[in-house]
Structure 1
């Protein structure tokens, strides 16, 4: 925010979003701990999308250049951690230890954006897919993480405008999800209903 963000130095007033006691000031808005965390998540998501896009562009240039492989890459930051508040996705406490709740929180935020934009069908598809992956008992934790990484990327691209999407990377992510989901009993049925929705949303049908 370059000077527009600072810790609140007074304890008067209320969070501009929820009315709780504020701890940070962003521009002219006071924010409580939870709302400031949501702000940081949203800001980090913007940077993550930009970083992923720049890394993809660098990889494309390296592929075309005869001496490829020298372009620097940007480290994609993790989602800021804090109390995990999910507004759309339901995750049982019994599976929390087997998943990265940061991924799920990021997907949940993107789903909220999609709902506000009128993307109810794709939002419902992403909710159902994420919840099914989280509770799947026939894949290991590592496979769950890979799948959730791919769902997170797909949800990030869904939030972006059509002109800013990376269609090649979206297609690759959907193909990877397709391959694993079809071979996994707990995911195959839901994937058969979700996959066409995602392809149609991204204009691939």
Structure 2
């Protein structure tokens, strides 16, 4: 069985990650609901990064050879939803409906990884930026979701090794954030302090 995933009832054993009752098996590992959700999120994040990269490559080919129609694009999947658990980012309940909580969960997950890896400065910058966007009163919901999407991509690239990153796409994401943030009163000052941190982290300074 590819991936050895099994959703049949598991009557014995414990989750290999936390010891709670398991409900799923991946290869030889038994997983509880929460651990399986984290596994699915991690797998989806890998696919999202690959899909975004392939879509970017297709767009570049279309730009260089603007004839013959548009190259097909891969649909980028949403992050699997579970209970919203944020360990680093604080988002007021009043703005939850204005943002994609799945994207915020993904950013929060990546921030936890960065902290464990010693990236305290960049993780703090991503926390501050995400919270500022979520609470901003002078941008509409569509702009918030677009900005959060860019921050999510930046956080995904931050947890990858330098050899796995996509500098052109990172630069494009930072430019998109820069354009909107500088024109938004509530984000301008915060962005001016965060932007150099992100550029330095990615070796762009």
TM-score range, shorter chain: over 0.9
**12-21 or 23-32: bigger deviation:** 12-21
Give 1:167's aligned residue. Answer: 167
Give 2:182's aligned residue. Answer: 182
Number of equivalences: 205
1:94 aligns with 2:101: no
- Check conservation: 2:157, 2:165, Cα contact below 8 A: yes
Measured after TM superposition, the shift of residue 24 of structure 1 is: 0.6
Name structure 2 gaps, 5 residues minimum: none
Task: Output the CA distance in 1 between the equivalents of 2:116 and 2:91.
Answer: 22
Q: Deviations over 1:124-163 (max 9, x none)?
A: 1101110111111221111110110110111111122222
Give 2:71's aligned residue. Answer: 71
Measured after TM superposition, the shift of residue 13 of structure 1 is: 2.2
Give 2:32's aligned residue. Answer: 32
Name structure 1 gaps, 5 residues minimum: none
Give 1:9's aligned residue. Answer: 9
Give 2:127's aligned residue. Answer: 127
**Over the residues paired in the alignment, what is the CA RMSD in angstroms?**
1.6
Give 1:200's aligned residue. Answer: 200
* TM-score for both structures, normalised by structure 2: 0.94
Measured after TM superposition, the shift of residue 68 of structure 1 is: 5.3
- Check conservation: 2:107, 2:156, Cα contact below 8 A: yes
Change (3 A) 1:69 1:63: farther
Give 2:117's aligned residue. Answer: 117
- Check conservation: 2:79, 2:102, Cα contact below 8 A: yes
- Check conservation: 2:110, 2:155, Cα contact below 8 A: yes
Give 2:148's aligned residue. Answer: 148
Task: Output the CA distance in 2 between the equivalents of 1:127 and 1:185.
Answer: 19
Question: Which 4+ residue blocks in structure 1 deviate beyond 3 angstroms?
Answer: none
Secondary structure of the equivalent of 2:126?
helix
Measured after TM superposition, the shift of residue 113 of structure 1 is: 2.0
- Check conservation: 2:3, 2:26, Cα contact below 8 A: no
